[in-house]
Chain A
Amino acid sequence: MDALTITNLTKKFGDKTVLDKLNLSVPKHSIFGFVGKNGAGKTTTMKTVLGLLKPDEGRITVAGERVVYGQTKTNRHIGYLPDVPEFYSYMTPYEYLAFCGKISEIPAKDLKSRCCGLLELVGLKNEKHRIKGFSRGMKQRLGIAQALLNRPKLLICDEPTSALDPVGRKEILDILLLAKEQTTILFSTHILSDVERICTDAAFLDKGTIVLQGSVSGMRNLNSSKKYVLELADRKDTEKIMQAFTGLTLNQNHELVFREESGLLFSILHFIAEQKIPVQKLEHMEIPLEDLFLEVTKP
């Protein structure tokens, strides 16, 4: 069973259709990257899953249970980190977590240890100041702690890394990787390197529909253009191969770039072996997800 299933979700704001028959399923224990441009409908989708917005059409199930707008009981399976999390500024992080714990009806005897454990996980254990003076990164980390408090089956993070500096981003991604042990994570982003770094699965959202969905490794394979890069120790050898074969190009680093078609790779390797040409590097070229994303979301 999937942690989250969305079928035919449609949401309009006035005349504007923000989500158009969106279908999505998030497998259990995955880190699911939900990728889209600004305004593609990522936050709307997430808020509808949380029962904060009323869908015009469609069905959402979380851990097999249907989401009902207004009285959202399914939220007890979910931990949510909003894009710009805001907490009660007059509380300390511990007080805030303890308050959240009481709301989630966590037994009093577990509460203290769980709060302390989570504050340690997000690196706020020794923070005794009130939330008022927190930086964005600190709020984001506290946000993850409060989202994980009720041990959710699904953790939803809305662009957790978008507004952070490189250090803050790395911290959040590391915490998410740690959290993967406990839960399924759905996180929206427009930073594709984050997806490549930690996600197991991903979906690309464009104009309110999913244009591509699958495992990140599958996407990479789909995306691999069967291109190879060959670097030789000696420039003369490079020229020799250029003359012997057709369909090779030279890039600015004086490397040979070619597309693997009708056994070209093996012919070249054979040639290299016969001529005993010293090789520096032979690499399968991976094209970043970014190019794939740009391709599938072309206007």
Chain B
Amino acid sequence: MSNAPQSSQGPALQNEGPVTRFFRATEINARMLGMLAALVLIWCVFDIASGILRGNFGGLLGGSFLTPRNLWTLLVQTSSIAIMSTGMVLLIVMRQLDLSVGSMLSLVAVSGAVLQVFKLVPVLGVGHPAIWIIAVVACIALGTLIGALNGAVVAYARIPAFIVTLGGLLAYSGLAFYLARGETVAPMDKTYEIFGGGITISWLGPFWSWLLAGVACAAIVFGIANGRRQRLRFKFPLRPMWAEVFLAALGTAAVLGTTLVMNSYPWPFKLIENYAKANNVVIPPGVEDRDGNAICMAGEQVVRCADGLIYYTGFSVPVLIAMVVGLLMTFLATRTMFGRYVYAIGGNPEAAELAGINTKFMIVKGFALMGALVGISSIISSARLNAATNALGGLNELYVIAATVIGGTSLAGGVGTIYGAMLGALMMQSIISGMSLLNLPAAFQNIVVGVVLVFAVYLDQLYSRRVK
């Protein structure tokens, strides 16, 4: 066994083509690559089409889709669904399902808003720093509690999750309506609003964004090097060196590219003007240019211009939250006992039970985690809207499940990844906002998302049949 490292890749290695060898060496999932390719294709098509719509036949990058502004907004719009889809992955992997996340989001958001507006503000006064903290904690706690309730009924009363959460869908939205009395509850606390990414300085700015990117790149390189060292220590088969370098390069390039795009999105020019006036920043003189993103003084008037005072946003807060949630959930799914048990239960519930896993409590924990994530998403949604209504989470359950399934999670259980679901959410949001850019009627959006959902599962079936 001690000289195993090379031979253990098996005799199959000899008669492999270069493509197969590439995938085996880099351990890149072909499915994942297909999804990324589809995403890039969708982006390019929308960009070219939106260019043509504006009379610009310049091809790629001539349209309004592949612009920092649109991509930045796209990520912000994706974050809420993406966060919830990470929890849905684990539930579906465990052969469960939560249809109540949309209603739960409405209920949690409305409860949080009622707490802020009608309970905390009269007692603490507007803008008290404790308000947003109490509201955030309350939203996450309430989400966890409702999720745990769903899970307990599923696990201990042995009612199928479909039924329990279908009941939840109706009950929680009714409760949200009752709590809000059908009204819109607003406004939110100013600090709380930062979670929505919609107001001034609800983003990192270029400096911190680059710093974060640097840390992420270092983490990628360290992770790959550490993995190699561990495998070396135990004399396991190693990836070829070129594959390691390729993976590290790919990871850092993705991080740096995303950061570059985020850092190229300027603040809205009106915001720059307000900020400059509030902070006594001198606005330089310049020539007016209606397409510019900076501001300058043309005589006594503040105008848009190409060169002048400009600020860039960098990563916005909801996107950061989504990234952190994605990382934590990936860690949970792949590096902890909880994650291992989730997948084992999905693969064979009976075997998991016989192995001594408390499957019932695992189901409760899975639903409670889903609830906590709904709590986080409800904070983002209500902060972004600066209000909460009982319709805030409408259809969200279906978008979340669609994103999860498009991302490669099998409804039969046992199979699914966090990053896949987040990519699925991004793909769905790309389609929705791409069609808005093309001025297509709103009705089309759901039609296309529906077709894409079915088509994605069809492709997945084809793929898994070929693999078998």
Q: Do A and B share a complex?
A: no
